[in-house]
Structure 1
Amino acid sequence: MLNTNDRALKEWALACKTLQEGRQLLLIRKGGLREEEGRFVPRYPEFFLFPTFEHQRAELLQDRYKSELEVLSSPSDPRLVVLSSYAVVTDVLQACSEEQVMAAGEEHIWNAEYVRQRFDFNPYDPLTLLVLRVYVLPQPISLPFQKAYEGCRSWITLERAFSTEGAMPALSDAEFERRREALRTILVRSF
């Protein structure tokens, strides 16, 4: 893990929370409207998780996560961004089917409708699955929200590099590896 970094990945606040709590290992990425290459590219192997609120919708979540969205429907102060976790990519996979992604549903928060929408958006672009090892920062980092952070894109360059020193893994090594291997087994099967 890098000691400092200035890269962040924008993701639903609820996904950031469940990743940080070790309840999820998988992110589903297709890309935003303002991606540089027109699609999601897993450009950085490590990054801060940058919680976003604007695209979160309860009807796109698995039932067990819907009640949590009410608490995370908006930031406590829209002028600030709070970073509390850091992620290291352990695996990058391409999804072949909706069934494949839903078979891995224990490791992500989204429902079949969300997965279908991701496959349908720019259908010729791949659906990328990121398996993440997440670390909880010892102290959250509060940043003023900047115009440069706006827009439908995945990657953000923060105002400066921040330390990851003292970050603790969300899951023990053994638990992470057990779940990662189970997830990889599901995702590499043919559907």
Structure 2
Amino acid sequence: MRVTSSVALKEWAVLCAGLDAGEQSVLVRKGGIREPRAAGQAPTFTPEHRGFWLLPTWFHAREPGRDRDLAPAARARLPQVLADAPPSGRLHLSLWTEVDAAVEVHDLARLDRLGDAHGLARECVADRFAYRKPGLWVLFLRTYRSGQVIDIADRAEYAGCHSWVDLAEAVAGDVEPVLTDREHAARVAELRSALGDA
């Protein structure tokens, strides 16, 4: 299918690789210190878009010791993901995602039921959960892969601790689903059942 959008969600490149490989169908989100905020409230992530490009990020992945935040499968992917990083000043888009469901979870025990389906270590999830106000968003995603990598220029406004990026120009691409309809439906049903959201 053909998609065109200037909206992108920033995510660790190693977790994007898990979605690309069909090994993940879920992300957990808290948001960064530069997220939008309501008056008198802490900054928070909101799942405000249904479809968007994934913008792989490399900053945290390159920090010494941050591999401890990853589940074993994601940690094993990390060396290759780092080797495949685009040159400085460039960004590569290749994944389009659509949100099947977004669930705000305020019980860490429910998140534990997902195991490492999100690609993160349990301790990392617990830390994110407890940060500022307890809770996390769980995004159930349908991932699509572009037939070719889309190369764009990095820009200063894309940097920083915020989830959503308005790209300088709309990006168009032909994408195909990573999982078949049947595989995707079964995966999401299993994960939502585990979370207690089915």
Normalising by structure 2, we get a TM-score of: 0.89
* Structure 1 unmatched ranges of 5 or more: none
Query: Residues 3-152 of structure 1 correspond to what in structure 2 (within 5 A)?
Result: 3-37=3-37, 38-56=43-61, 57-73=66-82, 75-124=85-134, 126-152=135-161
Specify the code of the residue in structure 2 equivalent to 1:51. P
The one of 177, 185, 188 aligned to 1:177? 185
Q: 1:43 is paired with a residue of what secondary structure?
A: coil
Q: 1:16 is paired with a residue of what secondary structure?
A: helix
Structure 1 runs of 4+ with >4 Å offset = none
* Aligned equivalents of 1:47, 1:173: Cα separation in 2: 19
C-alpha contact (below 8 Å) 1:95/1:187 kept by paired residues? no
* Aligned equivalents of 1:123, 1:155: Cα separation in 2: 20
C-alpha contact (below 8 Å) 2:20/2:143 kept by paired residues? yes
> What's the CA shift string for 1:157-177, capped at 9, x where partnerless?
11111113x310010000000
Q: 2:188 is paired with a residue of what secondary structure?
A: helix
C-alpha contact (below 8 Å) 1:102/1:111 kept by paired residues? no
Q: 2:14 is paired with a residue of what secondary structure?
A: helix
- CA drift of 1:64 comes to 2.8
> Aligned residues, how many?
187
* Aligned equivalents of 1:28, 1:129: Cα separation in 2: 5
Structure 2 vs 1, CA of residues 2 and 92 (structure 1 numbering), >3 Å: closer, same or farther?
A: farther
Normalising by structure 1, we get a TM-score of: 0.92
